[in-house]
Each structure stands twice: as structure tokens, then as C-alpha cells.
Amino acid sequence: MSRKHTILKGTFILTMTGFATRFMGFFYRIFLSHTFGEEGVGLYQLVFPIYALCFSLTCVGIELALSRCIAAHMTQGKQKEARELLYTSLFLTVTASILVTLVLQRYAMPISEVFLHEPRCADLLIILSYAFPFASVHSCICGYYFGLKQTGIPAISQFVEQTARILSVYLLYLYGIRSGIHFGVSIAVAGMIAGEIFSSVFCLHALFGKNVLASLSRFHFRGCMKHSRELLSLSVPLTASRVLLNLLQSIEAVSIPVRLQHYGMSLSESLSTYGVLTGMALPCILFPSAITNSVSTMLLPTVAEIQALNHRKELSALIQKVTYSCIFLGSICCVSLLSFGKWIGAILFHSPMAGDYIITLAWMCPFLYTNNTLISMINGIGKTTLSFCINFSSLGIRIVSVFLMIPLFGIEGYLWGLLASQVCIFLFCLAYLKYYLRKTA
């Protein structure tokens, strides 16, 4: 099968699954907003910066590095080394995730009070901490299959995760109603654990069958030391950049309610505004990005393979086709959201505020959807430090908008900063890729 057909097939599978899970998640967000209110959704969203930070620390760098290493080894016919790389990545990520779980449980209250400025998040963080060991297993096995350019197992595991998350929350909610127990938004966090447990069990069964323990017993510490160097040399820069970026994103996220209070809002109003933006408007804007996220996932190992074979013309054609397609998709979504944004906010979310935010954010779509693929291609050619610098510059614009624009213009000032940051990523990525192709011609 040609690379073009491999990318298209993998993208189609991931996109269909992505649309299915996002469709489920879209109505799940509506359920959460109706059940727990805008303030409850705001509390739920407030723990996500910590989740993203811990996930980046334990999983993201290894997953991307594993995908790239697997693609390179399979191109050279080294199947045994590829499987050893998987075992090594599982050892590294599970160990790191257990440490993160213990630290998060120990310091949940200080993190909630000092960093999140909301003591009510402490219990949510303790619940959330149990998700990371399972998430690390799920992440590594998905990275292994992405390196093989096989998307079936990752796609199904994504669907399993979303189904388990939503179903577990809904069943707990029904149980609470019948038993007269008020769980609060903590059951939504518990649903995240259920999703990771079921998806990791599915991935282990798909990879090893019924002999999971026997397969893992083949792991040798000497092989771990040999492959650890290869994985860590790629994953440490990726992990460091992701952790730093997520740390800054966490500062950005938790500062939004605080700066809204400087604008004149009460604590309840600021949490409600934050909940509407991050729990309703942004998921709506990101819904069509299931396509571009799927393309990005397939592009990283494909670009790494093309670069290893030194096929520059093929790389140039791939970059052009993907960029034009993503811009076209983003433009269609922009027009659609501008036309129906108010209706989505008022009818589906019962929040006119969400409709206003959707219309403002719609202008990001052509840039937002294209940027995912451009960054993935830059990582695919091994320029992970550059992708970090581009993301760092973009994030700097957003943080400036939080601290300077929100106190003056309210949440609208932040939305303008989001748009400016996406435009900058778009221009920086295009400029470098054009320079790279000329340099290697």
C-alpha cells in the first residue's frame, strides 16, 4: 500500500472515530452543563490544566518518540527492536505515572489553594490522580500502533474510552438520584478514570491477547537500558517542551477567572464565564478538528519515513496538499459557525453567552485546523525544538492577553489574543517549511 493510501486510510479511520467520540462528547457537555450548571462545569474544567500537565510529564513525549522510532525501525526491518521499544516505553511511563499519582495525592490541597485558587478542586485532583497509570499504558500502545501506521486499535480504544467515561458518569448520576445522594461534578472526574481503565485493558488485550503477563515477562532490564537512551534522547526534549508549554497553559487557564474578577466579575460569574468558554464554546469550535488531528497523527511517522528515505519532492507535495486541504476545511467551518453560532449556544447549551463566544472564535478555524498538521510535520522532520519555540511564542501572546487585555475588555480581550496566537503559529510554520524545502532541494 502506498504512503498516500496509508495516510488516507488511517486518517479516515481516526476521523470517523474522532467524529463519533466528539459527537458523544458534545452531548455529554450539554448533559454536564444542564446537570451541574455553568459554575460546576467551570470547576470541572479548572482541573484540566493539571491533568494536561501531568499527562505531558508522563506520556506525551514518550508516545511521540515511540511512534517515530517504531516507524524508523520498521522501515529497516527491525521488528524485534520495535517490540522491545514498546516494552521500554511502558516501563518508563508507568513508573513516572505512579510517581505523579503519589505526588498529586500528597499535594492536592496546596495545588488547589495556591495554583488553582479554588480549594474545592482538591478532592477532584485526588480522584483524577488514579487515571495516570492507566493513561500511560493506553498512550504507549497507541504510539506503538501509530508508528506501525495501524490506526484500528487506537481508534477503537478512543471510542471505548469515551463510551466508558460517559456511561459511567450517567450510571452514577442515576444511582445518585435514586438513592438521594448528591455526587456533584466529582463523578465527571471519576468518569475519566473509568475511561482510561477500560481503554488500557482493551489495548493490552488487543496487543497481547490473553497472555498479557507472560508477554510482559519477556521484558529484560538490559534491553530497557539500551532502548531507553534512544527513546529518551527524543522524548526528553519533547516532554520538557510539552511540560513547559502546559505549565504556561495552566497558568493561563487558572488566571482567566482571577483576571475576570479584576474586570469586575464575582467569583461565581468568573467561574461561569470560564466554564462556558472552555466547556461549551471551545469544544464546539474544536469539533471539526477531528479530521486535522487524525491527519496530524498519521503525518508524523510518514514524514519521518519520507525524510529517512530522502524523498524531498514527495515531502514537498505532501505539505502543499495537506495545507491547502486544511485551510479549505477551516474556511467552511468558519462560515458555518458564524451562521449558526448563536443558535448552537441558545438552543443546545441554553447559554446565549456561549453563542457569542462561538461567533468570535469562529474566525480562528482556518488557522487552528491547519496549525495542527503544520506542527506535526515540523516534529516529523525532527525539529522538535523549533515547534516548541513556535508554540511558546503563541502561548506568550495568549498569556499577555490574559493579564493585560482581560482586565480592560473582559473575556473578549482573551478571545482576540487567541486569534492572534493562531495567526502567528500559521505564519511561523509556513515560513519555516518553505525555507526547509528550499534548503534541501
185 three-state secondary structure? coil
The pLDDT value recorded for residue 387 is 81
CB 388 within 8 A of CB 425: no
> Can you tell me the distance from the alpha carbon of 326 to that of 323, in angstroms, rounded to the nearest whole number?
5
Give 349's DSSP letter. Answer: S
CA gyration radius, the chain: 22
> Can you tell me the distance from the alpha carbon of 354 to that of 344, in angstroms, rounded to the nearest whole number?
8
Q: Which long-range contacts (C-beta less than 8 Å, at least 24 apart) are formed by 357-361?
A: 357/276, 357/277, 357/280, 357/281, 357/411, 357/415, 358/281, 358/284, 358/285, 360/412, 360/415, 361/281, 361/282, 361/285, 361/337, 361/415, 361/418, 361/419
Strands (E), 156-314: none
Could you give the C-alpha distances from 305 to 291, 299, 316, in angstroms and in order? Answer: 22, 10, 14
Which residues, given as ranges, of the chain have pLDDT below 70?
1-12, 14-15, 18, 75, 77, 210-227, 289-302, 304-305, 307-311, 440-441
Read off the amino acid at residue 85. Answer: L
User: How many other C-beta atoms can be found within 10 angstroms of the C-beta atom of residue 398?
Assistant: 19
CB 94 within 8 A of CB 133: yes
Q: Which residues of 266-285 are buried (b: 16+ CB within 10 A; e: fewer)?
A: eeebbbbbbbbbbbbbbebb
> Can you tell me the distance from the alpha carbon of 22 to that of 34, in angstroms, rounded to the nearest whole number?
18
Question: Degrees (nearest 5) of the Cα angle 169, 172, 175?
Answer: 150
User: How many other C-beta atoms can be found within 10 angstroms of the C-beta atom of residue 310?
Assistant: 9
